[in-house]
Structure 1
Amino acid sequence: MNFFDFLADMCNPNLVFLPKALLVAVMSAVICAVTGVHVVLRRLSFVGDALSHAVFPGIAVAFAMQGSILLGGAVAGGAVALLIALFSQSRRLGEDSVIGIFFAAAFALGLVIMSRIPGYTGSLESFLFGSLTGVTNADILTVAAAGICILSVLAVFHEKLVLLGVDRDYARTLGLRVGMLDLLLFLTIAAAVVVSVQTIGNILVLALLTAPAAGARMVTDRIFPMMVIASVIGAVSAFLGIWASWALNLPTGASIVLVSALLFILLWVFSPIRRH
């Protein structure tokens, strides 16, 4: 299927789910890209991985109760973000140790819940690896509203979050509430993960948090341009990934992630500042 055939399918009234999936994928990619700049700069990939798996039990519970998948994931992700932020304040434990404990526990809990749901495998597969189908108008509005909230929070606390990432001790001497800012960032990451579950899947969403931001890091050292470039990379990855998924019958999340990884490799190879 060539590019023009894909555009024709996008306009086909019998394939109304396709443009909806593309819209949600692009919005999710932009949200993850902007949030991912903080993840990359603070080297919080492990946190992103933990929170992407932390939403799993919430998704499983919501599915079992026939409730909102997004709401279930948000509750679970928020709870684990709170626990990580709380326990990681102890100087006797490394942040990675705390993250590892709650990351594994949350995912294990999700597996236990899934094992108790009859016939869960096929039904929950799309939330693990992403899917083109099943995106509703309500999902679009939810992702748009969540995206506005996430980006607004990052904009309001931008300077404090950047300062915290550059020099944590200096931020503390200025009187910034480091623990609360950590919690705020973790909750933001969890929210970005939740809104991406529909098209990317929670297993692969970490790549969408890191690859576009890492690619942008190869181009610029300035924070705001980095966020803009990361958003463009994320949006392009979503578009080309959806096209590949539809044309070649590939898993949606995997296609988007592979495209974003390829774009990162190209930027790394051709970046004039990658060795500085």
Structure 2
Amino acid sequence: MNDFINLFEFEFFRHAVIAVLLTSLIAAMIGTYVVSRKIVFISGGITHASFGGIGLAYYLGLNPFLGAAVFAVLTGTGIEWLSKHGKIREDSVIAILWSLGMAIGIIFVFLTPGYTPNLMSFLFGSILSVGTTDLIVLLALATITGLFFSFFYRPIVQTAFDPEFAGIMGTKVVFFRYAMSILVSLAIVVSIRAMGIILVLSLFTIPQTTAMLFANNFKKIIIWSVLWAVTGSLAGLFVAYQINIPSGAAIIFVLTLQFLLIKTLFIIVGLLKRSK
């Protein structure tokens, strides 16, 4: 344990811990919206489609995360628009853009001349390589997301649970749907550095599912999600250090184990109450 604490002497580890805290905060807010609106599959489509932006950015010699952000936002807003105006089923739109983004990414990585980049960090994350610029981006998005949720909490909740009634009450449903699509897309992209494309969706789902065991209020779910995301992520870093495995995978494993243990405890308590 002392060896783990001593890791805080190193800048790269302090950056990793700060990244965990900021990513957990962003994921708690965005993930609660995603789970409440039941659009986890949409988020998966955005996550994987962003790989197309990474491949294209590599080919053009640009920052891969800039390319991922552009593709993610276009995918998120594209799903909203096509599913409503293109007369295409939403799940079909997601599948098309999901596979298209992955295909574009693979094609452009293959066409990139010279050294082929190591894609493992994008697929599985590399939280220990987070730099100061990454932290600034995370902090900026966490601040923007927090302010947006603070000022527009009620319409966000209304459009997540009952958009038809919200429209009748005068809420600008279309605006908030597109605004949240953009925030979801950006949150996914900035989290890729820590968790990777394959694992990032879990951070927007597992802590929220765990939080819903303790609360059914949107605001309380966010608070509980922060708690479980932070504790699970820090524990995942500790496990990764102890047995020398990828940190992103360790974090997701711990978050999942955390949920399963708590869910099992709830089941046991429920059975004991019934037996009395």
Q: TM-score, normalised by structure 1?
A: 0.90
Alignment partner of 1:201 is 2:201: no
Deviation digits for residues 83-137 of structure 1 (CA, Å, limit 9, x no counterpart) = 1111121484332222221122112111111222243352x21121011442211
The match for 1:93 is 88
Q: What is the one-letter code of the residue matched to 1:253?
A: G
Q: TM-score, normalised by structure 2?
A: 0.90
Provide the rounded CA distance (Å) in 1 between the counterparts of 2:145 and 2:120.
Answer: 27
Structure of greater relative contact order (alpha carbons < 8 Å, 6+ residues apart): 1
Q: Point out where structure 1 has 5 or more consecutive residues left out of the alignment.
A: none
Worse-superposed segment, 69-78 or 84-93:
84-93
Contact 2:57 2:67 in 1 (8 A): yes
Provide the rounded CA distance (Å) in 2 between the counterparts of 1:37 and 1:150.
Answer: 13
Identity %: 26
Contact 1:218 1:274 in 2 (8 A): no
Provide the rounded CA distance (Å) in 1 between the counterparts of 2:187 and 2:247.
Answer: 18
Within 5 A, what are the aligned runs for 1:171-186?
171-186=166-181
The counterpart of 1:19, out of the listed 14, 21, 35, is: 14
Q: What is the one-letter code of the residue matched to 2:253?
A: L
Ranges of 4+ aligned residues in structure 1 off by more than 6 Å: 272-275
Alignment partner of 1:119 is 2:152: no
The match for 1:10 is 8
Within 5 A, what are the aligned runs for 1:5-154?
5-11=3-9, 15-90=10-85, 92-117=87-112, 118-122=114-118, 124-154=119-149
Q: Point out where structure 2 has 5 or more consecutive residues left out of the alignment.
A: 272-276
Q: What is the one-letter code of the residue matched to 2:20?
A: A
The match for 2:274 is none
Contact 2:55 2:104 in 1 (8 A): no
Q: What is the one-letter code of the residue matched to 1:242?
A: L
Provide the rounded CA distance (Å) in 1 between the counterparts of 2:4 and 2:256.
Answer: 22
Alignment partner of 1:264 is 2:259: yes
How far apart are 1:274 and its partner, in Å? 8.9
Contact 1:150 1:191 in 2 (8 A): no
Comparing both structures, which one devotes a greater share of its residues to helix? 2
How far apart are 1:66 and its partner, in Å? 4.1
